[in-house]
Structure 1
Amino acid sequence: MKTMNILQEGTFSEKGMKKLLVHDSPYFRIINFNFKAGQELPIHSHELEGELSIQILEGEGEYLAKDRSIPAKTGDILICDIAEPHGVRAWTEMRVLVTIAPPL
């Protein structure tokens, strides 16, 4: 068992999103991304089978997809196949928790 407070350990950077590896195992990976307003994780996909979730812990922004964007705010969660194009853009400072199963 392990615990971590990502609100205390995760930091922000003016240079780009900050990434904190929360957990990594053969079963799943958890990553905390912190964005300043205007920063983004560009639309991308992975040629693998599996699923991911993108949960907004704090802030507002949008989930990005190949042909649309979806507003996202504190408490929202997106679940999709890893192979489906996905990304995130922050409108305000935003903390995001991504879970990938199985890990990349």
Structure 2
Amino acid sequence: MKKINLFEANDFGDKGLKKLLVHDSPYFKIINFNFKAGQELPVHSHDIDGQLSLVILEGNGEFLGKDGTSFPGQQGDVVISDIAAPHGFRATTNVRLLVTIAPPI
């Protein structure tokens, strides 16, 4: 087992999105993204099988999908998607987002 406190390990960057690789193994990957208000992870997809989860730990934003679709997200919301489906995120406030990918890419 290992323990990481994301609030202590990763802060908010003035120059852009802050990314922390929390865990990487053959089974899954965990990444913590910290967004300042207005920053985004553009809509993208991966041509592989697998799933991902996006969990808002703090703040508010929008989950982004294909063809310009979006829906609001707030602290505590979890989105689960196939890795091959278009996905992205835009922060409307400062946001801590935890992403889990299985299998890892």
Fold conserved between structures, TM > 0.5: yes
Aligned-pair RMSD on alpha carbons?
A: 0.6
Partner of residue 85, structure 1: 86
CA–CA separation in structure 2 for the residues paired with 1:2 and 1:55:
20
One-letter code of the match for 1:35?
F
Cα separation, 1, equivalents of 2:40 and 2:10:
16
Residues of 1 paired with 2:30 and 2:76: CA distance? 17
- Residue 13 of structure 1 is matched in structure 2 by 13
Deviation of 1:15 (Å)? 1.5
TM-aligned CA deviation for residue 10 of structure 1: 1.0
How far apart, CA to CA, are the structure 2 residues paired with 1:54 and 1:10?
Answer: 17
One-letter amino acid of the counterpart of residue 3, structure 1: K
TM-score in terms of structure 2 length:
0.97
In 2, Cα distance between equivalents of 1:38 and 1:16: 10
The whole-number CA distance in structure 2 between the counterparts of 1:15 and 1:85 is 26
The structure 1 segments of at least 4 consecutive aligned residues displaced by more than 3 Å after TM superposition are none
Q: What is the Cα deviation at residue 60 of structure 1?
A: 0.2
**For structure 1, which runs of at least 5 residues remain unmatched after alignment?**
none
Q: How far is the alpha carbon of 1:63 from its aligned partner?
A: 0.2
Counterpart for residue 51 of structure 2: 51
Name the counterpart of 1:4.
Answer: 4
State how far apart, in whole Å, the 1-side matches of 2:50 and 2:33 are: 20
Q: Secondary structure at the match of 1:80?
A: strand
Structure 2, unaligned runs of 5 or more: none
Question: Within 2, Cα distance between the matches of 1:20 and 1:11?
Answer: 9
SS of 2:11's equivalent?
coil
What is the distance in 1 between the residues matched to 2:15 and 2:47?
29
Q: Please state if 1:71 is matched with 2:72.
A: yes
Q: Which position in structure 2 is the counterpart of 1:41? A: 41
Q: CA deviation at 1:27?
A: 0.1
Q: How many positions carry a matched residue from both structures? A: 104
